Amino acid sequence: MLAPAMWWRDAVVYQVYPRSFQDSDGDGVGDLRGVAERLEHLAYLGVDALWLSPIYPSPLADFGYDVSDYTDVDPSFGTLSDFDALVASAHRLGLRVLLDFVVCHTSIEHPWFRKHPDRYIWSPVDGPPNNWVAAFGGPAWSRDERSGRWYLHSFYPEQPDLDWRNPEVVDAMQGVVRFWLDRGVDGFRLDAVNLILKDAELRDDPPASGEFPFPRAGESATLDHVYSDNQPDAVEALRAIRAAAGDALLVGEVYLPTSEYGRWLEVLDLVFGFELLFTPWDAGRLRDAIERAAKLERVAWVMSNHDFDRLATRVGPENLRAAAVLLLMLPGAAFVYQGDEIGLVNGPGHEPPFDRAGRDGLRHPMQWDASAKAGFTTGEPWLPLVDPQERNVESQRGDTGSLLELYRHLVALRRKLGEGFRLLDAEPGVVAFERGGQTVAVNTTGERRTVPRGETVLATHAETGLPPHAAVIVRN
């Protein structure tokens, strides 16, 4: 591990979706050697770390989020020695490496499911014991044909939930953390960690009393997940992970509103700020989401990932430059999903879909150059390239007007901003805040707005003032 602790406070972390980053062997699927070959791109951007979406052996019911062995690498991605080589190269470049740690469930093909069924959550009756609903819709209980018993799955039926109330699970998972720390990883993104524990009495969730602020699929939205999610004693389970992780970074995917994060931050270093991700590109609402999250000081800003619409598709290509300023100028850590730095849009996905929850379109391969396969593979890509001629790393690199160069510039600039953060009152449609001795103003509208007074440090658009969809940074 690279020293020192707390390196993550202001870090920029780049999310690599390994299947779609770089293929090194022509099978059309990205792999670890491919990631290693492309680390230079991350060093060029100036980011501090990379987070690898799951690389473990997996039957791919949920593209790696169904793990069948926590201490190995899926053969399609390479081997443990490829992983070691990747970590070594990353560290040489000053980049830290985070793994995705899928804590809530395993794959149904994980040997534990047969050899250690007690590590999972089973219904005490012959059928679902309650009304819980899975995240992608449908009942959260399925019958195991072999044993005839019913097991819990918060996601797909191929992902049975682990029972973290069983000390064997805690021990085994602590072992997993130590295994990867010994191989040099610098931290973990804890997947779906708000679901790590459920009500021990398996009580029914009550009907939804209000709107949950984030997307929930199908019947999942009809319930308040009081007993199936966000349990008061979950933090105790996390303490076991913390004990094994020492001061390695733990960033939690806590799929809950900001108001819930305080408790999770007792043990986690960072939690993703999902309110920013789901807030429409509207200054008032963005400001509110930022205000709530910034108070906690350890919310990692994130505007897109492999689960939700790509940033360009969500905010519109015209707002991408301003969105980059917002994401990277807010105080604290920020996460960038691969491809957002070149403005990748949602793609068409695949027919029939690989992902039953409809997320293929957000996972198309990275576009390195303008060739038909975009430098991603020499073979048949597992998902087609979206539009390499329109946007790719090679053509944007060195072009001072490009989105890629803006990202790079912002990553460098954020290191010089200094301490201090204060949201400012601003004209309608503008998010403005002070960072150190600078004022950042982001125009979310299609109309001109007044630029704050001061010497320009950065402007996203060539026109003077604060043009439509633009952002500026001025020195006060």
Q: Which residues bind ligand GLC (CB under 6 A)?
A: 62, 65, 102, 155, 191-192, 253, 306-307
Closest-CA residue to 264 (of 254, 273, 274)? 254
Residue among 195 and 432 whose Cβ is closer to ligand GLC: 195
Least distance to ligand GLC from the beta carbon of 82, Å?
23
CB-nearest residue to ligand GLC: 65
Residue among 301 and 368 whose Cβ is closer to ligand GLC: 301
Residue among 103 and 248 whose Cβ is closer to ligand GLC: 103
Handedness of CA 327, 367, 8, 236 (dihedral sign): positive
Query: Among the options 74, 186, 191, 360, which is catalytic?
Result: 191
What gap in Å lies between CA 447 and CA 453, rounded to an integer?
Answer: 19
What are the residues facing 422 on neighbouring strands?
434
Residue among 310 and 321 whose Cβ is closer to ligand GLC: 310
Closest-CA residue to 160 (of 121, 192, 209)? 121
Alpha-carbon torsion, ordered 65, 69, 75, 80, to 10 deg? 110
What are the residues facing 133 on neighbouring strands?
139
**Tokens matching residue 261:** 């994060």
Residue among 74 and 466 whose Cβ is closer to ligand GLC: 74
**Tokens matching residue 97:** 């490496």
Residue among 242 and 306 whose Cβ is closer to ligand GLC: 306
Least distance to ligand GLC from the beta carbon of 344, Å?
18
Has 191 been annotated as catalytic?
yes
Least distance to ligand GLC from the beta carbon of 102, Å?
6
Query: Among the options 74, 229, 253, 275, which is catalytic?
Result: 253
Least distance to ligand GLC from the beta carbon of 67, Å?
9
Least distance to ligand GLC from the beta carbon of 373, Å?
25
**How many residues appear in the chain?**
476
Burial class (CB in 10 A: 0-12, 13-18, 19+), 251: buried
Number of Cβ within 10 Å of residue 34's Cβ equals 25
**Tokens matching residue 218:** 């199908």
Intra-chain end-to-end CA distance of the chain, in Å: 39
Q: Where does 132-266 show beta strands of DSSP type E?
A: 141-143, 150-152, 187-191, 249-252
Least distance to ligand GLC from the beta carbon of 65, Å?
3
> At a CB cut-off of 8 Å and minimum separation 6, what does 167 contact?
none
Mode of pairing for the β-strands spanning 249-252 and 270-272: parallel
Catalytic residues: 191, 253
